Structure 1
Amino acid sequence: MFWRLTSLSTSSPVESILDKENFSLEELLDEEEIIQECKALNSRLVNFLRDRAQVEELLRYIVEEPPKDAESKRAFKFPFIACEIFTCEIDVILKTLVEESELMDMLFSFLEPDRPHSALLAGYFSKVIICLMIRKTVPLMHYVQAHQNVLRQLVDLIGITSIMEVLVRLVGADDHVYPNFMDVMQWLSESDMLEMIVDKLSPSNLPEVHANAAETLCAIARNAPSALATKLSSPSFVARIFDHALEDSHSKSGLVHSLSVCISLLDPKRLLAYSPLFHSFRNQHMYECPVPVDPVTVGAMLPKLGDLLKLLNVSSDDKVLPTTYGELRPPLGKHRLKIVEFISVLLKTGNVTAEKELINSGTIKRVIDLFFEYPCNNFLHHHVENIIMSCLESKKDDIVDHLLRECNLMGKILQTEKNPIILADSNQPTSPAVGKRAPRVCNLGHTTRISNKILQMGNSQSCIRTYLLENTEWNEWQATTLHERNLVENVYRWSCGRPTALQDRTRDSDEDDLHDRDYDVSALANNLNQAFRYKSYGNIDTVEDPRSLGQDDEDVYFDDESAEVVISSLRLGDDQGRLVSYGSRPICRHIYICLNT
Structure 2
Amino acid sequence: MFWRFGGYSNVSTIDTLLDKQNLKLEELLEESDLIQELKSHHTKLIEVLRDDDNLHALLQYVIAPPAKSAASSEKAPEDDDEEPAVDQEQDESEKKRLKYAYVACEILSCETWSITEALMANTQYLTEFWDFLRKPPSLEPLQAGYFTKVNECLLEKKTEDMLDFFKSLPDIVPAILQHVDCPMVMDLLLKIISLDKAEGGAGIVDWLHSQDLIPMLLANLSPDCNSSTQTSAGDFLKAIITISANAAQDQQSCIGPNSLTRQLVSESCMETLISAMLQGGNPLTVGVGIVIEVIRKNNSDYDPKVGLLQILRQRVMILSI
Tell me if both proteins adopt one fold, taking TM over 0.5 as the criterion: yes
User: For 2:132 and 2:120, how far apart are their aligned partners in 1?
Assistant: 16
1:589 is aligned to none
**1:171 match: secondary structure:** helix
- Asked if 1 retains the 8 angstrom alpha-carbon contact of 2:193 and 2:205, the reply is yes
Say which of 207, 216, 226 aligns to 1:196: 216
User: For 1:132 and 1:289, how far apart are their aligned partners in 2?
Assistant: 37
Gaps of 5+ in 1: 271-287, 307-597
- Asked if 2 retains the 8 angstrom alpha-carbon contact of 1:137 and 1:178, the reply is yes
Q: How does 1:111-510 map to 2 (within 5 A)?
A: 111-114=133-136, 117-172=139-194, 174-181=195-202, 183-222=203-242, 223=244, 224-247=256-279, 249=280, 251-252=281-282, 254-268=283-297, 290-291=302-303, 293-294=307-308, 295-302=310-317
Q: What's the offset of the Cα at 1:48?
A: 0.6
User: For 2:137 and 2:13, how far apart are their aligned partners in 1?
Assistant: 37
User: For 1:24 and 1:202, how far apart are their aligned partners in 2?
Assistant: 51
Q: What's the offset of the Cα at 1:289?
A: 6.8
**2:260 match: secondary structure:** helix
1:340 is aligned to none
Using CA pairs under 8 Å that are at least 6 residues apart, name the structure with larger relative contact order, 1 or 2.
2
2:108 is aligned to 86
2:44 is aligned to 44
Q: What's the offset of the Cα at 1:92?
A: 2.1
- Asked if 1 retains the 8 angstrom alpha-carbon contact of 2:105 and 2:150, the reply is yes
The amino acid of 2:290's aligned partner reads: V
Shift in CA distance, 49/115, structure 1 to aligned 2, threshold 3 Å: farther
User: For 2:272 and 2:55, how far apart are their aligned partners in 1?
Assistant: 44
User: For 2:303 and 2:12, how far apart are their aligned partners in 1?
Assistant: 55
Gaps of 5+ in 2: 69-89, 245-255
Q: What's the offset of the Cα at 1:304?
A: 6.5
Corresponding position: 1:102 with 2:134: no
Q: What's the offset of the Cα at 1:169?
A: 1.4
RMSD: 2.6
Q: What's the offset of the Cα at 1:245?
A: 2.1
Shift in CA distance, 144/5, structure 1 to aligned 2, threshold 3 Å: closer
User: For 1:297 and 1:22, how far apart are their aligned partners in 2?
Assistant: 65
- Asked if 2 retains the 8 angstrom alpha-carbon contact of 1:133 and 1:177, the reply is no
What TM-score do you get using the length of structure 2 for normalisation? 0.79
Residue deviations 1:526-561 (CA, integer Å, cap 9, x gap): xxxxxxxxxxxxxxxxxxxxxxxxxxxxxxxxxxxx
- Asked if 2 retains the 8 angstrom alpha-carbon contact of 1:267 and 1:289, the reply is no
The amino acid of 2:204's aligned partner reads: V
Q: What's the offset of the Cα at 1:195?
A: 1.2
2:71 is aligned to none
Q: Percent identity?
A: 25
Residue deviations 1:396-435 (CA, integer Å, cap 9, x gap): xxxxxxxxxxxxxxxxxxxxxxxxxxxxxxxxxxxxxxxx
User: For 1:134 and 1:177, how far apart are their aligned partners in 2?
Assistant: 9
**2:297 match: secondary structure:** coil
**1:267 match: secondary structure:** helix
Shift in CA distance, 299/84, structure 1 to aligned 2, threshold 3 Å: same
Corresponding position: 1:56 with 2:88: no
What TM-score do you get using the length of structure 1 for normalisation? 0.44
Residue deviations 1:375-398 (CA, integer Å, cap 9, x gap): xxxxxxxxxxxxxxxxxxxxxxxx
Q: What's the offset of the Cα at 1:116?
A: 6.4
The amino acid of 2:47's aligned partner reads: N
**Aligned pairs, number:** 282
Shift in CA distance, 4/133, structure 1 to aligned 2, threshold 3 Å: closer
